A and B are shown apart, each in its own frame.
Chain A
Amino acid sequence: MAIVEVRNLVKEFPGGVRAVDGIDLATEEDEYLVLLGPSGCGKTTLLRMIAGLEQQSAGDVLIDGEVVSGLPPRARQVAMVFQSYALYPHKTVLANIVFPLRAARVEKSERDRKARWAADLLGISHLLARKPRQLSGGERQRVALARALVRQPKVFLLDEPLSNLDAKLRASARDELKRFQDEVRTTTVYVTHDQTEAMGLGDRIAVLSQGRVRQVGPPMQVYDDPADTFVATFIGSPPMNLVPRGDVLVGFRPEHLLPSEVAPGGLPVTLKVDRLEYLSGDRHVYGTAIGVGEPTRVVARLPATVEADVAVGEEQPFAVPARRIRYFDAESGVRTQAGSS
């Protein structure tokens, strides 16, 4: 429905801390854009500036091609789901959902119709008379989503909406969020520090670090072709292995470092294995990589389908398929193509 764009956006807090340091970023129509980064990278500040809760120090925010930088939140037609959900504790679920419509002076019959529609969509119709404190975490999250949805905003802003849920609930809530997104198809900016959420939900991911965008791209691209060593090591679990060789870093993902009999013809790596972990079917092999560059500790992730024997304490032949190898400048950490020398 709308495009959100920020141009050279800067937020400097008193004391000179630059939480957001010149970000240019634009969503596409109806896109699910995830802002991913470690805590303190400026992703929430960026989101709050889009919402209008934080005033930018420089630059502009555009929604639907219009500059909204100076406008208060209510004039921006955005809806936000907070990390804490920020449900009004003294209001019932229905009153919570209806609140934005009342603020917009929507007529009562229309309000009720829309509230029921939103509640139905999120499966909380049976909870309308309850107070927030009588709800579980997952139900609260859905009420917060319904409250955001009911006004049919131009843009959804979600600030770590899953981080208050326990691990098991988070997976199913993520799944529901995805279905919700497919159904409502509204431009969404989603902030998270959890790469699984980012990879699973985002049409595109913007990886942020220290107030700057390191890379923007679809999940696969960000994962397979990281723009620098920050992205390479922030995304992926375990992260990408980086082996120094001269003035480059040789990078390869743990799942691409395989026993040489299953990866014939690849870059040979001798792995001195010192530890083995067996995690949900995969084997994580920790050891020192010899022969690629300087001996470096690396991790290999062998899927359950690889049944080759790996023994702790031995040096074993491993290999990385050549097309899976990425090179980074050792100095700047930026991706280089010419590193294959």
Chain B
Amino acid sequence: MADREGTLAWLFLMPSVVYILALVALPFLLAIGYSLSDVTAGDPSFDWVGTRNFQRVFEDPVFWRSLGNTFVFTLISMALIVVLGKVLANILVADFRGKWVVRFLVLLPWTTPVALSSIAWLWMLDSIFSPIDWVLRQLGLIEGNMYWLGEPGLAMASVIAVHVWRLTPLAAVIMVAGLVAIPRDLDEAARVDGAGYWRRMFEVTIPLVLPVAAVAALFGAIFTFTDMAVVDVLTNGGPNNATQVLTSWAFFRGIDGGDVGQGAAIALFLFPLLLAAAIAILRAVRRLEVR
């Protein structure tokens, strides 16, 4: 049997094929089915309703707000994650005393379970007992409290900040791999050619690390896009849906609210966006291979 490569290949592929079919393809088809039905948590019988769920979603201002928030949330997080990830990556590859402490600290956010770290942040951003507020008060910068999670703008900023804090280490590690892969000769050639630090950074290092940074960015985007833990724990979508994103809104509607059909319809909006991101990742990876 070991000689029959076709059979063997299928045998090895089977577990992942089953896994993908059962946990990705099947739920996806179910979601499409539900989005066209009137299934609710209380009445699981399937009745075809055509596009009524979608019509109702489109008429719902909270949906549009969630969609907008999702983009704001993702784009700002992604930009910050890439920039900070690159800075952290530079620190991680640098050689200095005690670098293992820095590396340990840098990687810590990524290793902490998101629910735990989000809860920690919930306390940090507490409306009355926030230690951040306390520090700002001691410094004389504010009086009273900031209500981080109570003001719409601040709430969005907080959610983004926690997300960036959590995903930056991953981006940094991906970019370290990219940085390390750049031949040392190139940097040295640029130094002899008379280029200073910033010129080397922007004309040699960053262009060469760009395909890898793109992968890091897109990973970050997908994680941000599909994540609802931070929103759920910190703000629950509030105040007044100011931080509501597609995933959290789909969850509230479909699971908490019991309207499975509408939840599925909302969640399906993630699909074209994620598809685009996946294609972009694959193209970036191909560019890496060409070089």
Q: Is the CB of B185 within 8 A of A84?
A: yes
Say which one of A96-104, A195-203, A272-280, A285-293 lies at the interface with B: A96-104
Name A90-124 residues within 8 Å CB distance of B: 90, 99-100, 102-104
Q: Is the CB of A72 within 8 A of B191?
A: yes
Which residues of the other chain, B, contact A135 by a CB distance below 8 angstroms? none
Name A119-149 residues within 8 Å CB distance of B: 133, 147
Interface residue A189 (Cβ < 8 Å from any Cβ of B): no
Q: Is the CB of B208 within 8 A of A89?
A: yes
Q: A82 and B189 in contact (CB under 8 A), knowing A90-B207, A103-B199?
A: yes
Which residues of the other chain, B, contact A82 by a CB distance below 8 angstroms? 185, 188-189
Name A48-94 residues within 8 Å CB distance of B: 51-53, 72-74, 78-80, 82-84, 86, 88-90
Q: Which of B183, B185, B188, B190 contacts A99 (CB 8 A)?
A: B190
Q: A79 and B190 in contact (CB under 8 A), knowing A89-B208, A89-B291, A90-B208?
A: no
Interface residue A151 (Cβ < 8 Å from any Cβ of B): yes
Which residues of the other chain, B, contact A74 by a CB distance below 8 angstroms? 191-196
Rounded to whole angstroms, the CA-CA distance of A53 and B190 in the bound complex is 11
Q: Is the CB of A103 within 8 A of B291?
A: no
Q: Min CB distance, B198 to chain A, in Å? A: 11
Closest residue to A53 on the B side, CB-wise? B188
Q: A79 and B192 in contact (CB under 8 A), knowing A89-B208, A99-B203, A103-B199?
A: yes
Which residues of the other chain, B, contact A80 by a CB distance below 8 angstroms? 188-189, 192
Q: Would you give the 0/1 interface string for B207-242, flagging 1 where the beta carbon is closer than 8 Å to chain A?
A: 110000000000000000000000000000000000
Closest residue to A150 on the B side, CB-wise? B193
Which one of A73, A82, A86, A151 has the greatest number of beta carbons of chain B within 10 Å?
A86
Q: What count of chain B residues pass the 8 Å CB interface test? A: 18
Rounded to whole angstroms, the CA-CA distance of A197 and B75 in the bound complex is 57
Q: A53 and B291 in contact (CB under 8 A), knowing A86-B186, A88-B186?
A: no
Q: Is the CB of B192 within 8 A of A53?
A: yes
Q: Is the CB of B195 within 8 A of A86?
A: no
Q: Is the CB of B291 within 8 A of A100?
A: no
Q: Which of A52, A103, A133, A157 contacts B193 (CB 8 A)?
A: A103
Interface residue B83 (Cβ < 8 Å from any Cβ of A): no
Q: A100 and B193 in contact (CB under 8 A), knowing A86-B183, A89-B291?
A: yes
Name A285-324 residues within 8 Å CB distance of B: none
Rounded to whole angstroms, the CA-CA distance of A86 and B195 in the bound complex is 14
Q: Min CB distance, A76 to chain B, in Å? A: 8
Q: Min CB distance, A134 to chain B, in Å? A: 12
Which residues of the other chain, B, contact A90 by a CB distance below 8 angstroms? 207-208
Q: Would you give the 0/1 interface string for B16-53, flagging 1 where the beta carbon is closer than 8 Å to chain A?
A: 00000000000000000000000000000000000000
Which residues of the other chain, A, contact B194 by a CB distance below 8 angstroms? 73-74, 100, 103-104, 151
- Interface residues of chain A, those whose CB is within 8 Å of chain B, are 51-53, 72-74, 78-80, 82-84, 86, 88-90, 99-100, 102-104, 133, 147, 151, 157
- Interface residues of chain B, those whose CB is within 8 Å of chain A, are 183, 185-186, 188-196, 199, 203-204, 207-208, 291
7 closest A-B pairs (Cβ-Cβ)?
A: A86-B189, A86-B185, A103-B194, A100-B193, A74-B194, A103-B195, A80-B192
List 5 extra interface pairs beyond A104-B194, A151-B194, A157-B192, CB under 8 A: A74-B196, A88-B186, A99-B193, A100-B194, A147-B193
19 contacts between A and B (CB under 8 A): A51-B192, A52-B191, A73-B188, A73-B191, A74-B194, A79-B193, A82-B185, A82-B188, A84-B185, A86-B188, A88-B190, A88-B204, A90-B207, A99-B193, A100-B194, A103-B193, A103-B199, A133-B291, A147-B193
